[in-house]
Every structure is written in C-alpha cells, then in structure tokens.
Amino acid sequence: MALANKVWFITGSSRGFGRALVQAALAAGDLVAATARRPEQVADLGREHPDRFVALPLDVTDRAAVDRAVAAAAERFGRIDVVVNNAGYADVAPIETGAEENFRAQFETNFWGVYHVSRAAIPVLRGQGGGLVIQFSSMGGRVGGSPGIASYQAAKFAIDGFSRVLQAETEPFGIKVLVVEPSGFATDWAGSSMAVEDIPDVYTDTVGAMSEVRRSAAVTAGDPVRAAEILVRLARHTDIPYHLPLGVNAVEGSIRQDEFLLGEDRRWAAVGRSADFGEPYPVDFPAA
C-alpha cells in the first residue's frame, strides 16, 4: 500500500452518500471498509477491487458491534486513516404528536451511532499518530428550525457539540475532525428512507408544507458523486476546515445564519456583559 493511499471506514454504505464515498475512495486507489446493516447490499462495490475492499456488518446503535467492526477493519488493512460517520435517517412528525419511541430511535442512530464509532476509532487513530474523522451533520444541524424533523436536527446539533470536544481532546494526537453539512442531495434521504407520521390539520402549513418541500427537486440539487469526490480529495489536503457546508443552499443558508447570529450577539452584547460583577449595571435594552 502506497503511503498516499488512505484506508476508509464508512458507515451507512449501502446507499446515498455512503455508497458514493465508497466508490470515490476506491476510484482514487484507496482501501475501504464499508459497513451496513446488511453487508450483502454493498458487496458488489468491491468486486473489481477485492484486495482493497471489505464489507462489514454493522448496526451503529450496537456498541459491541461497532467495536468489532472497527477492530476488523484495522486488522484487515493495518490502519484506518479516515472514519466517516454517515449512517442516519429522519422521520417526519410534529413534536407535539410524534411518537416518543420513534424520536428516541432516531437519536440512537443519528447521535449515539456517531458516539459509538468515534469512541471506538480514537484508540486506533491515536495509536498510529493521527487520522481524520468525518461527521455527517446537515444544513439543519447548522441552521435548524425545519418543522417535522426535530429528532434528526437535534441529533445533528448534538453531533456538532460532541465533535467540537472531540477535536479539542484529540488534536494533540494528530486527529482532525470535519463536520459536513449538506443541503438537499439526490439521495434516498427524503424518499423511502423517510417515514411520515400522521400530520394533524393544525400542522398542515408547517410540518405538512415542509414535508412536501423536502420531496421536491428544488431541495435535491446536490450531486452525491461530486460531494464524495470532494471529500476524498479533501482527505488528502493539509488544510481541513472544521465545518464544510455542501451545496448552494447549505453554503448560503449557513452564511445568512452566521451573519444573523453575529448581528444578534453584537446588538445584545452590553446586556450580556452586564451580568458580570464589575460591569456597568443596569444597562438599557436595544431599541425594539
């Protein structure tokens, strides 16, 4: 294995971003451990490169299974250079009426799966002197506020907070963390992968309307093949950002959100500072 070749460990490889990443990494000459609940769904990806590919069974909500899969990948290829937490899904329901067990089940995959894989990978990456952890969040994990997918977006916000700490704790070991924030891409995320619970009439204009928008072509403009190729190239780059919005809507939405938050922070700065001992108090609130 040439030094330039990367070893990838990718979750959720059976379709969407995960499958595109497996294909892009193999096309670049890399080695891939592709995981899925049903590994037979990804076995076809390695037929042309059996020496550079292994399909592993994995349910990311099962911590013991995660430990076994990470260990198997490291044993097969001798190292893991890039860990990709891609497995995830979203179901649609209002917070008020959605089933709590469904909300929790989504969180088990979308957040706890990331926790299990990241934790299992740290000793491998630390022991070899570094590596890259790519966490798939979403535009919603940066901007938020999309009616109907509260569990999904809450998990994505949690991934950001978790990953900031992960980055701070593991940077001395040579480990880098990249949080990817896509907008709408041409994957099955909003298709058969997404279950929609009954939406009461009072939520037709919010949850119902957003459910229809998600399934429209207007929010699936992103090309997962291009996105995968970008990430494979980025894994070889020395200057890796912490956040990477992917897609026009993600980029523009993130910039708008950041500018809005910065304006809010500056507008209320004097009020916030006044809570500390030694600061002027009371102070006037900003004009309405």
Q: Which residues are catalytic?
A: 137, 152, 156
What is the rounded CA–CA span in Å between residue 41 and residue 38? 6
What is the rounded CA–CA span in Å between residue 137 and residue 284? 39
| Side-chain half-sphere CA neighbours of 225 within 13 A | 1
Tokens of 41: 């769904």
What is the rounded CA–CA span in Å between residue 125 and residue 129? 6
Burial code (b: 16+ CB inside 10 Å, e: under 16) for 81-112 equals: bbbbbbbbbbbbbbeeebeeeebeebbbbbbb
What is the rounded CA–CA span in Å between residue 164 and residue 110? 17
